Amino acid sequence: MEDLSPTPRSTVGRGSARARADRSELHAFLADALVAHLGVVVDGDPVVLPTAYALAVDGPDDGGTLYLHGSVAARWLREAPARTVCVTVTELDGLVAARSGFHHSMNYRSAVVQGTARVVTDPAERALALDAIVDHMVPGRSATLRPATRKELAATAVLAVPLRESSLKVRSGGAKDDPSDVARGGWAGHVPLRRSAGRPVADDDVRTGVPDDVLARAAALA
Amino acid sequence: MEDLSPTPRSTVGRGSARARADRSELHAFLADALVAHLGVVVDGDPVVLPTAYALAVDGPDDGGTLYLHGSVAARWLREAPARTVCVTVTELDGLVAARSGFHHSMNYRSAVVQGTARVVTDPAERALALDAIVDHMVPGRSATLRPATRKELAATAVLAVPLRESSLKVRSGGAKDDPSDVARGGWAGHVPLRRSAGRPVADDDVRTGVPDDVLARAAALA
């Protein structure tokens, strides 16, 4: 399955010139970004919460799977199962200063995934998903850690959201000013923004050096 | 009104040790962050979209007002009026690498605002809100621009969301490992993350230097 936006619901409406239809581009973006915003409906009202996630390109769903986790006591997780959720992942890439207020904008990449969340119950898939969420933060780290305890697993809910209904929008570059504003002169352009990492900070109780996985993660984001 | 979380719906549930109750801290965070995720319910399902916003501390609502804007043709804006929306603003401040997968986490600040969105129709309030959204991106910039045209105003919807029902969660610092994991040794800590700006990039058609407002914005985020 190569095309995004296969259903009317996930078809990008406004700004469709910014929509991308390449699933590998969606996967690359989701591998690069760090935070998702999960939307669920609770008592008829929308609730949007930030959360960590992991991408499983070869997950159980055609087109890939997003894994999210949370406390079994969290209301949004109790409400989410077997309901449609919306998972939106956005990275801000710049501020666009135009010659009119109307054409001010932001450069960004944003994926919107709609689908029915499945509560993962299979122990092997749960373990894979939880490791993937740790490795999404710090690649390779899960292999260096002790296995999860029974108590930790019992306290953790894992959700799988299929990537089948997804869209990716990308805006980049400068302002799209009206010709009459360009003719009047004046400055327009953009301020590039990116995420940057500082040096790893050890906890007070640490007696060993920073491990390679954490160093590599910080260097990749530096 | 000084306290946040005045209603059960907006009371932080999980991780309430991270909840902040100081409204000035909420305002400072919303002034600092750049992107909001707006959640609305469309045909019973949640939809979450990234959007620019502005904070009006002295806006019409007790406790402050968030302004959002969008195309009048955008479906989420048509659906939002007179409905409850959820506006969540998150800034990621770090990756937390613990000695167990369970205690891996992220450092962040996140505000969750729930309320009934009001479509702003008063011309003066609309103009103030649109200027505030431009100035949130580049402080002081709206005063340097031509006024919006009638056509631009007709194409733009402005929403006001009261900050009355809000919560702010902040996580910072290192890992919160179990004592048994600390005793076994090994590294734990965090990788600080922040947004950083590059030098302003002028559009190809620009013949003038970078204005002070854009330079100041880039320097503040550098």
Architecture label for domain B16-196? Roll (2.30)
What CA–CA distance (Å, rounded) separates B52 from B36?
6
CA distance B122 to chain A (A): 18
Chain B CB within 8 Å of residue A168 CB: no
Chain B CB within 8 Å of residue A106 CB: yes
SS3 helix, strand, coil % of chain B, rounded to 5?
25, 35, 40
pLDDT digits (tens, 9 = 90+) for B131-168: 999 999 999 999 999 999 999 999 999 999 999 999 99
CA distance A2 to chain B (A): 23
Question: What does the domain layout of chain B look like in residue ranges?
Answer: 16-196
Instruction: Enumerate residue ranges in chain B where pLDDT < 50.
Output: 1-8, 10-12
Is the alpha carbon torsion for B141, B142, B147, B150 positive or negative?
Answer: positive
Return all residues near A129 (Cβ < 8 A) that are at least 6 apart: A54, A56, A67, A69, A120, A158, A160
Above 0.85 for ipTM, yes or no?
yes
A42: which 2 tokens? 């609770």
What CA–CA distance (Å, rounded) separates A218 from A134?
15
* Count of beta carbons in the 10 Å neighbourhood of residue A143: 9
pLDDT digits (tens, 9 = 90+) for A113-142: 999 999 999 999 999 999 999 999 999 999
How many residues appear in chain B? 222
Task: Report the CATH number of the A16-177+187-221 domain.
Answer: 2.30.110.10
Select the residue of B48, B191, B198 nearest A88 (Cβ to Cβ): B48
The helix or strand, by DSSP H or E, that contains position B66, with its residue range, turns out to be strand B65-71
Q: What is the pLDDT of residue B1?
A: 35
Residues 7-46 of A with CB under 8 A from B: 9, 13-14, 34-35, 37-41, 43-46
What CA–CA distance (Å, rounded) separates A60 from A7?
20
For an interface test with A, give the residue of B12, B34, B45 to mutate (most A CBs within 10 A).
Answer: B45
pLDDT digits (tens, 9 = 90+) for A168-213: 999 999 999 999 999 999 999 999 999 999 999 999 999 999 999 9
